Structure 1
Amino acid sequence: MSNRMSTDNGDIQALIRAEHGNPFAFLGPHDQDGVVQVRTWQPGALEVQLLDEDGQLIGPMDEPVPGLFTRALDQRRRYRLRIHWNGGVQETEDPYAFGPQLGEMDVYLFGEGNHRRLGQCFGAQPWVADGVSGVRFVVWAPNARRVSVVGNFNSWDGRRHPMRLHPGGGIWELFIPRLGPGEVYKYEILGQDGLLPLKADPVALATEKPPATGSVVASGTDFQWGDQQWMDERAGRQSNTRPLAIYEVHTGSWRQTSEAGGEPLGWAELAEQLIPYVQDMGFTHVELLPVMEHPFGGSWGYQPLSQFAPTARHGTPADFAGFVDACHRAGIGVILDWVPAHFPGDAHGLGLFDGTALYEYAHPFEGWHPDWDTHIYNLGRTEVHGFMLASALHWLREYHVDGLRVDAVASMLYRDYSRKSGEWIPNRHGGRENLEAIEFLRHLNDVVATEAPGALVIAEESTAWPGVSQPTREGGLGFTGKWNMGWMHDTLNYIKEDPLHRRHHHQQITFGLLYAFTEHFILPISHDEVVHGKGSLLGKMPGDRWQQFANLRLYLSFMWSHPGKKLLFMGCEFGQWREWSHDAQLDWYLLSYDDHRGVHDLVRELNRLYTEQPALHQRDHSADGFQWLIGDDSSNSVYAWLRRGEDGAMVLVVHNFTPVLRSDYRVGVPEAGGWQILLNSDDHAFAGSGAGSKGEVWTEERDSHGQPCSLRLDLPPLGTLILARP
């Protein structure tokens, strides 16, 4: 008996100190001396009564020490607790009367790094145990001494709901009866060195709206989708031979509830306003800057902490699903920016989650990013590898998202990225490559190809790493596409030059065609090019107002006729003057001006041509689809090429990068007859001067540029002509 009392006293003292790492061994019903001893730990309670499963009173519970209530039963039976608090009476089943709710296979798959449905297993899941409704909480914290669930339901008191540890896996779980969706919660974790700041749930499916930082019990993924036709057709729509014109959007600043600094639109409002706009403009996809919940709005989502929860800034998870569904029913694909490279150091986040470097590398040379002051995921850790893999699949499967644009891939590939000599740790072979991250990216792309067929995975990769978009079986990383950062830098540097000096920079346009078909490239004019003092896209253009708009129309026409898929950041499509700010909506009033509306109308027409002309998109990634006609006329800053489709269709493109009308400019072509001008970027319809050839032009029997016949064209100043055989 004295031995048991000693054991009980040790348990009691551990509960009082909030250090009990195995509460199920003491709390709840336990066989003892021929009876069933029921114990419940309710610090601060005035009285606790034991009820039967029908709510009938069995009797009051004793309180041998403050907060610990006990009563003996003659046999095991289901029971409830009626707890009297200062503020009222609570009736509930005892969480410590339930056995383990997490399956052994879930524990095994997580430890193996291969649990691909963490969002339906870990975190807070509405649950029914032994016929009782509640919420099951599951969290990974292998180095914690004690983990508790806290929230308004227990007055944020970590003594009230300590969790059960699954030995060997470092996974803690607890079923709390009578909780439901909408509850705000966090985890209170006692680390080896003491109590940690309250932690948000790494696998939360919903969160509080920032600046609040709590996790929220979500209502489940029972959204009624109406996009089956889109999902059935998606693989074909997103193949390399189909047009891909992406409108990149920051959802918080595209439009707001008021022009004078209002609130961000909700998902339903974005569906009502953004979708018709994208349809009218002819874009095939929207790409959203990260919607994963992030504490700091000024990070634009690129410092997320909830890799499974859409931001509450625009509504609920069901609202986000409704937005994606509406896009699909309107024929628009949805791509999300996704960040597996790093995460912020907010106290409630993943950093030192259980008191140790759990999700991040421990050494700052590996685990701290000097550019962004963020932690770096330790993707070499099996559980972290699996956690991030499950996050990617969560968005693709649960929200029917059509693609992920993986941010900061270059920072993942190299251990010395942005680090000085002596400030990085070589890999096991002594090299600079991050072998763990490379393995993760290749595994990610293979798994996505199998489990979300037809989905895109696009790399923002700024170096010359070989084979980014080549299959893993051929030694590549396996991405479906790669942003062409070199093309973007070269061509923007070129277009910024005074036209008088462009002859000296001619190769900045031609150089990109030397490697244009080495990857499945996307041509990106993204948010990164219109922030941090870089000015707007229109603001980069030289010359007076007329020349600036003409240069912008020329550049966009050049981009849309160049091999590669397209991406344009919001506001660039109508020539916003000011640099983008995430705090203010776009300057939509500018569309009341002819020149801005002209750019807007041009982008719409470019998208129409790009989609309707197979030669402009079918062979975006094949050298067979491109032929230089004029690439060496630096004195006139003129370029001409042919784009070829799979059926033999041809489109002729001629660019004049000087503000001079070039009359009777001869361009060789492979076929005699009439050529129809499909677009003149200087047309009056686009607020241009109306100069340059129009209508149909006919070949002359004079060879030129290695072709059997030729056209004489009037090239508009700072303009593009796009022609095709009727």
Structure 2
Amino acid sequence: MTDRARYTDPAAAELPQADAEALVRGRHPDPFAVLGWHAQGDGHILRVYAPGARTVEVLARDDGRWRGELTECSTPGLFVIALDEAFPYRLRFHWPDGVHETEDPYAFGLLLGDLDLHLIGEGTHRDLGRCLGAQPMQIDGVPGVRFAVWAPNARRVSVIGAFNGWDGRRHPMRLRHQAGVWELFVPRLAPGEPYKYELVDAQEQVVHKADPVALASELPPGTASKVADLDGIVWHDEAWLARRAESLVPDHPISIYEVHAASWRKHGGNEGELYGWQELAEQLIPYVLEMGFTHIELLPIMEHPFGGSWGYQPLGLFAPTARHGSPADFAAFVDACHQAGLGVILDWVPAHFPTDAHGLARFDGTALYEYAHPFEGVHQDWNTYIYNYGRREVHGFLLSSALHWLKHYHVDALRVDAVASMLYRNYSRRDGEWIPNRHGGHENLEALDFLRHLNRVVAEEVPGTAIIAEESTAWPGVTRAVSEDGLGFAYKWNLGWMHDTLSYMAEDPLYRCHGHHNMTFPQVYAYSEHFVLPISHDEVVHGKRALLDKMPGDEWQKFANLRAYLATQWTQPGKKLLFMGCEFGQWREWSHDRELDWWLLDAPRHAGVRLLVGDLNRLYRELPALHQGDGDPDGFVWVIGNDQTNSVFAWLRCDSKGEPLLVIANMTPVPHEEYRVGVPRNGEWDEIFNSDAECYGGSNLGNLGRLEAIDEPLHGQPASLVLTLPPLAVVLLKPR
């Protein structure tokens, strides 16, 4: 029988009614079992389901030779042809609005390997961003996109997009049962294509979901994922990567400028468009370099549906937000930072995720990514869901997300948000509203396992990078090695230091004597962890007032207090972090909807604060005493810690060779003349910094640059010197 004769009689290719109805209803459990080539009798039949097509033709894939026209069966949209032989083929679809030619997705075999599926199920796959999601590739010489998504409880999953009219009947996927992963190769798709998954979920509801492992997304308020190709990114930061490990170790200066990319600057002011990554590279990087910071920390730039969350309710843990450009644009920004000698830190949020219907919530009709019970799975403070850290696949999803940013985007460190909420099962919950762990305690043992595993794997896979914890409790060993029963973080934000010192600074100087301990107590535990001293975005929003406005007194005193506080931060043990706008004394609270008040820099006092921060960063980098001893108790010595009456503090910072630097702070608006302080050696001491200098907006009271110490012991030191302490100021002295 010839091909043509077999083609004219397709009745034998009709599907059983149950299969045909399942295809039409979008409920068929295994579309590959009925579509594509199938042997039948002594020939083969080809079935194509294309609802809405007028006609369908089959062509030879190699030379495009016409091989026949398929016949529409009694089932609308189901086309068949019977031929003697199966062969590699293309399909030509005639739609009401045009003709489209492509290979058939149901002509391709299994896509994911058994090892990938095993690792996904085990929760140990370390590169899900290159395995699941939408991966541009060639299969059998045919370009297209391989889609794969974990949804073990779904009844059916389809890829939908503009390429198929968002019709979930057109591209149903194959279920790989051992891992609960659905897969499909869609030929001829290219990067930039928007898509979602249509699921018939466990509750028999039809839902549309964004891809949990999407590498790119539509610009909000759009919610579709987009195909992206990371293989074309070209890097020029080899020199930085070769030396970056030393930039994050405890004895090196780390000074971090915290930035919300959407509100640092805007085109045309507050009502303008957001800067793209290229414009941020052109303007933010030179500014940060001029200010002397060593690292930029970005509030979460992972895709998030609501801008008002500042990125802290992300849904696209593998996708840079489309608000500032493409994934390649973000990679170019990181590359530019590295070429300029700046490290990049990203805020990363594995603690919770929003409840948006297009996201992870009840993804396949079950609590797939989150704990099922509301006492475990709902954050009451933020009305979000909590990841189920005890589920292997979720553990692996989060681990792979962290590695994705560190490996594929060359990011230098991740700051993990809200660690405290992960550690405690009763975090922000009343009695009776939380479920104890298997030992009856309040620790989240699954989250602990995840955090320790995360830190072990990052050290193993991406040496030279760091994971930083925002952890607000007294949990012991946050930065202790995992091998020593710690959590394994490189650094921890010292929120106790922030709270105590800001409480002190907010007091009227007349009453500061009563809160003297707020400035001294943080040094009691300063070496219990590797700390970052943070003045972050959280301290300048929600009615807390801007950093300058927290300071007491008239305008002059507010600026003097701010300068003294920043000088204190930069001269005490711990790495530094300052939120944007604080470096020039912004008056208004930060708002994500407007850019910083850059016009303030036309005023001398604001310009003076910015100059002061730049000089502090320069001294911090140049003087080993200010950074080498951050993790060593011998690097800090109180000289005067109990002068409550005068609100004066003095301390020594020492480098690894024991070379001292004296810091003296007068936290009253009254100058102290003839104030004697003990020092470790006699001879000449240079005044190398004075926050009351005229160039910073101060009164220019000081010590004319040089002092002489004599052999007169005081404050436990063998020598002493007499100096003038300017009002609300910090002075640094260095032996000649």
TM-score class normalised by the smaller sequence: over 0.9
Quick check: 1:226 aligned with 2:236?
A: yes
Among 403, 414, 422, which residue is 1:404 paired with? Answer: 414
Counterpart AA for 1:456: A
Give 1:180 shift.
Answer: 0.6
* Equivalent residue in structure 1 for 2:666, among 649, 656, 673: 656
Task: Give 1:6 shift.
Answer: 9.6
Match of 2:296 in 1: 286
- Give distance in 2, aligned partners of 1:671 and 1:447: 48
Indicate the residue corresponding to 2:38 in structure 1: 30
Is 1:145 equivalent to 2:155 in the alignment? Answer: yes
Matches within 5 A, 1:473-552: 473-552=483-562
Is the partner of 1:198 in helix, strand or coil? strand
Match 1:569 to one of 571, 579, 597: 579
Structure 2 counterpart of 1:471, one-letter code: A
Q: TM-score normalised to the size of structure 2?
A: 0.97
Q: C-alpha displacement at 1:411, in angstroms?
A: 0.1
RMSD: 1.1
1:343-380 deviation line (CA, Å, top 9, x unaligned)? 00000000000110000001111011000000100011
Structure 1 Cα separation of the partners of residues 594 and 460 of structure 2: 41
| 1:387 counterpart (397, 405, 421) | 397
Give 1:584 shift. 0.3
Once residues 193 and 233 of structure 2 are traced to their aligned partners in structure 1, the CA distance between those partners, rounded to angstroms, is 20
Aligned to 1:609: 619
Residues in 2 aligned to 1:325 and 1:649: alpha-carbon distance in whole angstroms: 37
Q: Which amino acid aligns with 2:486?
A: G
Confirm or deny: 8 A CA contact 1:113 1:387 kept in the other structure: yes
Aligned counterpart, 2:215: 205
The amino acid that maps onto 1:25 is A
Tell me which residue corresponds to 2:7: none
Corresponding position of 1:43 = 51
Residue 354 of structure 2 corresponds to residue 344 of structure 1: yes
CA displacement, residues 195-254 of structure 1 (integer Å, 9 cap, x when unaligned): 343100000001111111110000233311111010000111211110000000000000
Please name the residue that 2:597 is paired with. Answer: 587
Q: Indicate yes or no: 2:128 matched with 1:118.
A: yes
Deviations 1:104-142 (A, max 9, x none): 111011111111011111100001111111000000000
What is the CA–CA distance in structure 1 between the aligned matches of 2:400 and 2:175, rounded to whole Å? 22
Say if 2:13 and 2:80, in contact at 8 Å, map to a contact too.
no
SS of residue paired to 2:116: helix
Preserved CA contact (<8 Å) 1:625 1:643 = yes
Indicate the percent of aligned positions where both proteins have the same amino acid.
63
Structure 1 CA distance, aligned partners of 2:196 and 2:297?
31
1:218-257 aligned at under 5 Å gives the runs 218-257=228-267
Q: Distance in 1 between the 2:364 and 2:45 partners? A: 33
SS in 1 for 2:677: strand
Q: Decide whether the 8 Å contact of 2:13 with 2:81 is kept in 1.
A: no
TM-score computed with the length of structure 1 as normaliser = 0.99
In structure 2, the gaps of 5 or more residues are: 1-11
Partner of 1:722: 732
Aligned to 2:64: 55
**1:439 to partner: Cα distance:** 0.3
Asked whether the equivalents of residues 196 and 355 of structure 1 are also in contact (C-alpha less than 8 Å), the reply is no
Letter in 2 for 1:56: R
Q: Report if the CA contact (8 A) 2:251-2:630 is conserved.
A: yes
CA contact (8 A) 1:619 1:645 kept: yes
Give the letter for the 2:676 counterpart: R
One-letter amino acid of the counterpart of residue 94, structure 1: D
Aligned to 1:189: 199
Supply the distance in 2 between the matched residues of 1:656 and 1:564 (Cα, whole angstroms): 21
Matched residues in 2 for 1:246 and 1:302: separation?
19
Q: Does 1:712 align with 2:722?
A: yes
Q: Counterpart of 1:268 in 2: which secondary structure?
A: helix
Please state whether the residue corresponding to 2:208 is helix, strand or coil: coil
The superposition leaves residues 44-66 of structure 1 with CA deviations (integer Å, 9 ceiling, x where unpaired) of 11111111222222111111121
What residue identity is the alignment partner of 2:16? D
- Cα deviation for residue 446 of structure 1 reads 0.5
In the TM superposition, what whole-angstrom CA distance separates every residue of 1:424-445 from its partner, at most 9, and x where no partner exists? 0110111100000000000000
User: Moved runs in structure 1, 4+ residues, more than 4 A?
Assistant: 4-7
**Cα distance between partner residues in 2 of 1:45 and 1:599:** 68
- Matched with 1:703 is 713
State the alpha-carbon separation in 2 of the partners of residues 694 and 515 from structure 1.
Answer: 36
Within 2, Cα distance between the matches of 1:333 and 1:588? 24
CA distance in 2, matches of 1:32, 1:706: 98
Match of 2:453? Answer: 443
Give 3-state SS (helix, strand or coil) of 1:660's partner: coil
> Corresponding residue for 1:10?
18
User: Do the aligned partners of 2:230 and 2:327 also contact (CA within 8 Å) in 1?
Assistant: no
Q: 2:565 is aligned with what amino acid?
A: Y
Q: What secondary structure is seen at the aligned counterpart in 1 of 2:721? A: strand
**C-alpha separation in 1, matches of 2:430 and 2:599:** 47
Partners of 1:405 and 1:288 in 2: how far apart?
Answer: 10
The structure 2 residue matched to 1:361, chosen from 366, 371, 383, is 371
Question: Residue 150 of structure 1 contacts residue 186 of structure 1 at CA under 8 Å; is this kept in 2?
Answer: yes
Is 1:378 paired with 2:388?
Answer: yes
Superimposed CA distance per residue, residues 438-469 of structure 1 (whole angstroms, 9 cap, x where no aligned partner): 00000000011111111111000000000000
Q: Distance in 2 between matches of 1:361 and 1:284?
A: 39
- 8 Å CA contact retained: 2:191, 2:226: yes
2:334 matched to 1:332? no
CA distance in 2, matches of 1:274, 1:208: 25
Gaps of 5+ in 1: none
Deviation at 1:259, TM superposition (A): 1.4
**Letter of the aligned partner of 2:648 in structure 1?**
V
Residue 326 (structure 2) aligns with:
316
Correspondence 1:463 to 2:481: no
C-alpha contact (below 8 Å) 1:125/1:220 kept by paired residues: no
In structure 2, which of residues 28, 31, 43 is the aligned counterpart of residue 20 of structure 1?
28
Distance (whole Å) between structure 2 residues aligned to residue 598 and residue 129 of structure 1: 62
Count of matched residue positions in the alignment of Structure 1 and Structure 2: 724
CA separation in 2, counterparts of 1:621 and 1:694?
Answer: 34
For 1:357 and 1:585, how far apart are their aligned partners in 2?
Answer: 39
Write the letter of the residue equivalent to 1:490.
D
Equivalent residues of 2:270, 2:593 under 8 A apart: no
Equivalent position to 1:263, from 265, 273, 276: 273
* 3-state secondary structure, aligned to 2:207: coil
